[in-house]
Amino acid sequence: MKTVILAAMIVLIMVTTDAVASSFGVEYDSTGGLGINYNSANDFASKLKADGWTQKFLYGDASAWEKDFKDVSKPGGQDNYYADAVDVVFWEGHGAPDSLYVPPPDDHYVTYDDAIWGNLNLEWILAHSCSVLADDHLADWAYKACAQGAHGMCSHKTTVNACNAGSRMAELLVAGWTFKDAWFQQHIEKQYTGCTARVICTDATKNDKLWNHGGMAADPKPGDLWYVWTVTK
Amino acid sequence: MKISKYSYLLLGLAILLGVFAVATQNFGFCTDASILTMELPQKEGANAKPAFTLQTILPTVPEKLGIYSMNVPMVSIESTKTLAVSRLKVAPTKLAEISAPTIAKINAPSGISSARLVNQAAPEAKLEAPVARLDTAKLQPLDQVVDLGDAFSLATAESYVSVDKTSAAETVILNVPSLAASRKAALPSEDVLKQKANAYAAENNLLPEGYQYSGMSYLTRQEIGQGGVQGPVEQITGIAKYSRTIDGLAVEGPGSTICVLLGEGGQPLGYTKVSRNIGAKIAVSSVKAPGLLKTMAAEEKTFDLLSPEEAFQMLQERGMTTEIADVNTATVDKMYLAYYEAEPDKKQEETEPVYVFEGTATGPGGSVQYKEFMYALRMKNAKAPFEMPSPTKAKERKADEPMTAGTKDPELLR
């Protein structure tokens, strides 16, 4: 009997630890002169780790793979181990209105059709890339990629300069800012005049903060209305 | 007179030497690049060499443009404290009334620091200050300025102040929770917002000489329907922008911008200021050689400036340099000369002319508005544009690395 209770306690501790652990993952492309993205990714990771978060993965360049973002139900997808296995994902690299551009040798685009984020775990994806949230595919990112449980996505409408956004974003999140406000604040500080940042989320999740700095709203449900917030510097 | 064949040979050699000399002389242009330390975000886009179409007239280039030193004041914990006291209107005498340990005890999170808190309160409720906690937001700053590594920062339940160490860029938010309101605010007209911003800027002495109001932006909210954005665009927060010029040219880039945030009723919510001091003229640049310029002092260091035609040609060869991917065509709707000031965490000791291109780039995924910057000094373009080398430090990855599959957060299920 004692053995059973002990085993049950161990299992409970393991499950509980996993359930309450706040985890994040980072991938980036620092090739082709985007060297600053290495700093951005690593600074984001180190500042969240210092705040008590668990880093589940940190991959860059040739180790950043499309399938990490691709839903497990799609051919080759393994987001159940990566993007959708953590609470927050930070990506810095190239992008287009329909995709995140993962660098060679993988050399694939992560499109809104590849992604179903949040049906497992992911709440927020921060994509420091050009134009992912341009007008063309806003509804696709909201209702195809995110609406199964993700809370929100941050990116841009226009082109954007590579910079150390990760460091500043993490600083503001740890200071208790919402994802939305932190994204816009680092944007105002670091981007050129005329550059447009965007956040898509629901009305319920618009004030989400890091777990240990205010917490998050309940998961949105499919069918919930999504909004786009926009700031042009 | 008979001319020997050797004379023809000598004459030919002389002509060749002359051609070579003309082709290689710099007409007095400066070749010392040691003072040119300004760095643009010159990166190579992924599949980002679209076919550019010029849809505007080329800019007129002034006879000469200055190159100016930039400097920043020393930043310290003390200077950050001083800024916080000044901007948050803290009465320094009140700070002595309550000890730091007491403040920390009062404001310690009530057992939620490491636990996961589900925030299910109504959005409006979150705007209210915690009732059970002492409202020390305006009493505690001096004890809570922390060194973030790249900046000094003060974060209280209500306000936020940070000063970047590299550029002395300031961010002051008087009421962070009010930023999260994110509902349609009763914003007054742009004129009223501008007046409120001007008054706040004047009261806090925010605008160095040369800054002028340059327009109003807004944080907006709009519904996303199945077919894209729909319904009215709601203006949530006003952003009054101030910028400056040098030699009649705008200063572009992340810097030389002061943004005052305005909320409901035009109430100032804070500001962001990225503005290095512009110092002495350390050199000049021109498309004309110094010897051809009557107005140019002989002793002025003069750098060769690209002509607009050359700059557009180089844009086509270089392509786009932002984090853009996969574009096939691009229009150039605006092209102009400007100066450049970098983002806060970048060291910048001089500012020099750049060419700016604006337009729309189009690829299979859709259309994107872009802005591209290019060094205007020939010397900067003759060599490879600045790139931060790609690190080889990225972790190598094996295909079969063991990972734990994600699970649903039970506290988020409803």
pLDDT of res. A49: 97
**Fold of the domain built from segment(s) A24-232:** Rossmann fold (3.40.50)
Q: What pLDDT does residue B26 have?
A: 57
Beta carbons within 10 angstroms of residue B144's beta carbon: 18
- Among candidates A189, A200, A216 on the partner chain, residue whose Cβ is nearest the Cβ of B412: A216
Instruction: Give A105's contacts (C-beta < 8 A, 6+ positions apart).
Output: A62
CB–CB contact B368 A60 (8 Å): no
Interface contact A162-B43, CB threshold 8 A: yes
- Choose among A64, A60, A59: nearest CA to A106: A64
Quote the pLDDT of residue B31. 75
Of the given ranges (A23-27, B240-244, B400-404), which has the lowest mean pLDDT? Answer: B400-404
**The pLDDT value given to residue B266:** 94
CB-based contact, B312 to chain A, within 8 Å: no
> Does residue B388 or residue A154 have the better pLDDT?
A154
Looking at residues A220-227, what average pLDDT do you find?
A: 95
pLDDT at B38 over 90: no
Of A3-17, B18-32, B392-406, the one with minimum mean pLDDT is A3-17
Residue A199 pLDDT > 90, yes or no? yes
Is the pLDDT at A11 greater than 70? The verdict is: no
Q: Which of these, B392, B387, B361, lies nearest to B375 by C-alpha position? A: B387
- CB-based contact A135 B366, cutoff 8 Å: yes
Closest residue in A to B386 (Cα) is A33
User: Considering Cα of B129, then B131, then B133, then B136, what sign does the dihedral take?
Assistant: positive
Residue range A206-215: mean pLDDT, rounded: 93
Tell me the average pLDDT across A157-182.
95
Q: Distance (Å) from the C-alpha of residue B370 to the closest C-alpha of chain A? A: 5
- Across the interface, which of B226, B326, B404 has its CB nearest the CB of A85? B404
- The average pLDDT across A60-89 equals 95
The pLDDT of residue B45 is above 70? no
What was the pLDDT predicted at B9? 75
Mean pLDDT of A211-219: 93
Q: What pLDDT, on the 0 to 100 scale, is given for residue B375?
A: 92
> Where do the domains of chain A lie?
24-232
Question: Where does the pLDDT of residue B47 fall: very low under 50, low under 70, confident under 90, or very high at 90 and above?
Answer: low
pLDDT tens, B341-374?
999 999 999 999 999 999 999 988 889 899 999 9
Check CB contact of B354 with chain A, cutoff 8 Å: no
CB A119 within 8 A of CB A84: yes
Average pLDDT over chain B reads: 80
Q: What is the pLDDT of residues A164-174, one digit of tens each?
A: 999 999 999 99
Contact A85 B405 (CB under 8 A): yes
B127 vs A: CB within 8 A:
no
Q: Please tell me the predicted confidence (pLDDT) of residue B292.
A: 61
What is this structure's pTM?
A: 0.84
Cβ-Cβ contacts under 8 Å for A21 (sequence gap 6 or more) = A54
